[in-house]
Amino acid sequence: MADIQKILILGGGYGGVWAGKILEKHFRKNPNVQITIVDKKPFHTLMTELHEVAGWRTEPESVQVSFKKIFGAKRIDVVLDEIQTVDFKAKHAVGKARTYDFDYIVVGAGAEPEYFNIPGVKENSFSLWSFDDAMKLRHHVEDIFSRAAEELDPIVRKRMLTFVVAGAGFTGIELIGELLEYRDTMCRKHFISRDETRVINIEALPSILPILEEPLRVKAERYLQKSGCEIMLNASITGAESGKVLLKDGTVVETETFVWTCGVKGSSFAAGLELTKGERGRGRLQVDAEMKSVDYPYAYIVGDNSFFLENGKPVPQIVEGAHQTAEVAAKNIIASIEGASDRHAFKSDFHGFMVSIGGRYGVANAGGMKTQGFMAMAMKHLINMYYLFNIAGINQVWEYVKHEFLDIQNRRSFIGGFATWKVRGYWPLLLRMWLGLVWVMEGVNKIGEGWFAWDAGSKSGWMFSPGVQQAGIKAAEAVSAASATGDWAAAAPDAAATVATTAVAGAAEAVSAASDAAGTAAATVVDTTTRAFAKVWDLTKPIFDPNGGISTWFRKTFMDGIFAYLPYQGFQTMIVVMELAIGLALFGGFFTWWAAVASIGMCLVFTLSGMFAWDQLWFVFAAILMLGGAGRSFGMDYWSVPFFKRWWNGTKFARKWHFYADDPTK
């Protein structure tokens, strides 16, 4: 047996996950390669959205993507463990739980805040460089507001209601944007006037967001100021004490919430490894262009941990940097294992920056476009969704849509709260049962009409039988008769007359009688104005005309095709059985989602076959409403959905293709 090659990925961040995906895809069918990814958290953290959790815009789950979701049924071991040290010579990594041997290692343990040895800052500030940091800040702000609401000492109260973010890079500005919105919510909740609060951004440089060009910076600054943010530029922080931020010019800002986002360095874990550090690299590890450590040819460093000068400039600690360094590392490991001579060298290809300032506004310089407001936010969301689709499929994109738009509170989205309001399951209950009942009646009626009396053939060429939708039949008959003589315009009023008569009569018998006397009734009921309109245009004709182009094409292409393989009797039985099954499922709230989809599908097929009328469209709209879990309120789905979800999420298919509902079970 060939030697097993072991690849150990240390850290499941942007770099580690990306490398894992590439390596797994390549070696999926090679049993001689084992890939293990170790992370101290059971989930991949979406670091770029941490500020949203810290500022209570989204829930904590929105930045946690479980590794089970990402790697599902893939051939890669995901291990929860914290690596303490790595012995590169002996080729093993020592974790809290066990030791991991490797032939190749990819180190991607991320970054930490840099405090530049400024006295008191580390001890007296919050940071935002991990999931735990975001949660700590989130709870602190809520807590301080609730305490401030009852504080009587005006000096203490003022200190409690002052929030300071140091640093105006993208982390600082994104955080302050969230805090401004969070502040408004908290003020309402705790009956505190907004005028009592101060949200301050302190920056040592002469402008905010130095990574962006002038016009965008100005727009961002204006938006912040309009939202009530005090921006202190050219203000260096020289120290911090409990409850105090000290500035170089002697100013002292009193606050109980001081967040430090001014600098970033490689994680102390990585800095503690016995590998060469980059000169002025702040704990980052020196790599060559192949992303190999300069010390060991089998040790690769990716993402925020790696230090590489490209054209004299260090590769920035950003997501694209993590992806691109990971890709180079993964490709070179593949080349080494396969003995290929073509090595890959790092060449950056960055697409720009997108900065959100709260949930409603942002600025971006990405993909060659400088945008702000709606466009910038749309772009940021699209890029996030694209990333999530790449790592965990459509399921994770749907989770994102839920967190960012459908479940968002306090209108903190760039589309406002339009998508947020929810209808409780009991409101559509009667509609669900009625929709189901109509399908059942329809199936039963078809049997009564003689659909199973094969000798007699079908009695109805229309979707719904007389008991359910008499008007449609008569309209169709009139239309089809008229089209046979080529006089659509003359027929339409007749059909309309019958529809009108039906609506008034309301009962099948009455409609039938009206139908017999259609010619006379039409003459009396339909006035000349209606005739004139009908001659001009029937807006529903292109879609609903049974002899129109669309339905003729559909019938010839698909229905005739079906009948070539399926006896007409079989088809009739299938339709009746489906109608009954859809009806019963909707009535009892059992597999409601699937029944609703089938209901919509049937209506679509009937429409395309020219057997549907515009006044039956409510079937489709009602079924759409049922898609949102209507069967779980007073329906069997209350018990069946969790059971089937558990089963489905454990299947290999769901795990392999990321088609699970919620989290994978295995």
Binding site for ligand FAD (CB under 6 A): 11-16, 38-41, 45, 47-48, 50-51, 82-83, 108-111, 128-129, 170-171, 267, 269, 303-305, 317-320, 322
Closer CB to ligand FAD, 43 or 462, in the complex:
43
Is-contact 463 612, C-beta < 8 A? Answer: yes
Rounded distance between C-alpha atoms, residue 473 and residue 467, angstroms: 11
Closer CB to ligand FAD, 113 or 635, in the complex:
113
In the complex, the smallest distance separating the C-beta of residue 124 from ligand FAD, rounded to whole angstroms, is 20
In the complex, the smallest distance separating the C-beta of residue 48 from ligand FAD, rounded to whole angstroms, is 4
Closer CB to ligand FAD, 16 or 631, in the complex:
16
Closer CB to ligand FAD, 11 or 631, in the complex:
11
Up-side HSE of residue 439: CA atoms within 13 Å toward CB?
31
In the complex, the smallest distance separating the C-beta of residue 33 from ligand FAD, rounded to whole angstroms, is 21
In the complex, the smallest distance separating the C-beta of residue 417 from ligand FAD, rounded to whole angstroms, is 24
Task: Please name every residue paired with 10 in a beta bridge, in sequence order, or none if there are none.
Answer: 38, 107
Residue 244 neighbours by CB under 8 Å, 6+ apart? 124, 252, 253, 254, 255
SS3 149: coil
Closer CB to ligand FAD, 177 or 589, in the complex:
177
Rounded distance between C-alpha atoms, residue 157 and residue 568, angstroms: 81
In the complex, the smallest distance separating the C-beta of residue 117 from ligand FAD, rounded to whole angstroms, is 21
Give the DSSP letter of residue 499. Answer: H
384-396 core/surface letters (b: 16 or more CB in 10 A; e: else): bbebbeebbbebb
Closer CB to ligand FAD, 38 or 582, in the complex:
38
E strands in 390-455: none
Closer CB to ligand FAD, 229 or 479, in the complex:
229
Up-side HSE of residue 526: CA atoms within 13 Å toward CB?
22
Closer CB to ligand FAD, 47 or 468, in the complex:
47
In the complex, the smallest distance separating the C-beta of residue 539 from ligand FAD, rounded to whole angstroms, is 48
Rounded distance between C-alpha atoms, residue 616 and residue 610, angstroms: 13
Rounded distance between C-alpha atoms, residue 605 and residue 615, angstroms: 16
Closer CB to ligand FAD, 94 or 481, in the complex:
94
In the complex, the smallest distance separating the C-beta of residue 655 from ligand FAD, rounded to whole angstroms, is 21
CB atoms within 10 A of CB 349: 7
Closer CB to ligand FAD, 19 or 438, in the complex:
19
Is-contact 300 104, C-beta < 8 A? Answer: yes
In the complex, the smallest distance separating the C-beta of residue 93 from ligand FAD, rounded to whole angstroms, is 9
In the complex, the smallest distance separating the C-beta of residue 331 from ligand FAD, rounded to whole angstroms, is 17
In the complex, the smallest distance separating the C-beta of residue 19 from ligand FAD, rounded to whole angstroms, is 9
Is-contact 178 51, C-beta < 8 A? Answer: yes
In the complex, the smallest distance separating the C-beta of residue 133 from ligand FAD, rounded to whole angstroms, is 8
Closer CB to ligand FAD, 84 or 225, in the complex:
84
- When CB distances to ligand FAD are compared, the closest residue is 13
Closest CA to 173 of 364, 393, 419, 442: 364
- Dmax (CA) for the chain in angstroms is 100
CB atoms within 10 A of CB 245: 26
Rounded distance between C-alpha atoms, residue 102 and residue 300, angstroms: 12
DSSP 619-654: HHHHHHHHTTTGGGSSSTHHHHHHHHHHHHHHSHHH
Closer CB to ligand FAD, 11 or 466, in the complex:
11
H or E element that contains 552? helix 549-554
In the complex, the smallest distance separating the C-beta of residue 218 from ligand FAD, rounded to whole angstroms, is 20
Terminal-residue alpha carbon distance, the chain: 30
DSSP 431-449: HHHHHHHHHHHHHHHHHHH
Closer CB to ligand FAD, 21 or 474, in the complex:
21
Is-contact 650 664, C-beta < 8 A? Answer: yes
H or E element that contains 665? none
Closer CB to ligand FAD, 261 or 445, in the complex:
261
Percentages helix, strand, coil for the chain (3-state, rounded to 5) are: 50, 15, 35
Rounded distance between C-alpha atoms, residue 41 and residue 129, angstroms: 14
In the complex, the smallest distance separating the C-beta of residue 377 from ligand FAD, rounded to whole angstroms, is 13
In the complex, the smallest distance separating the C-beta of residue 92 from ligand FAD, rounded to whole angstroms, is 14
* Orientation angle between helical segments 518-525 and 508-516, nearest 10 degrees: 90
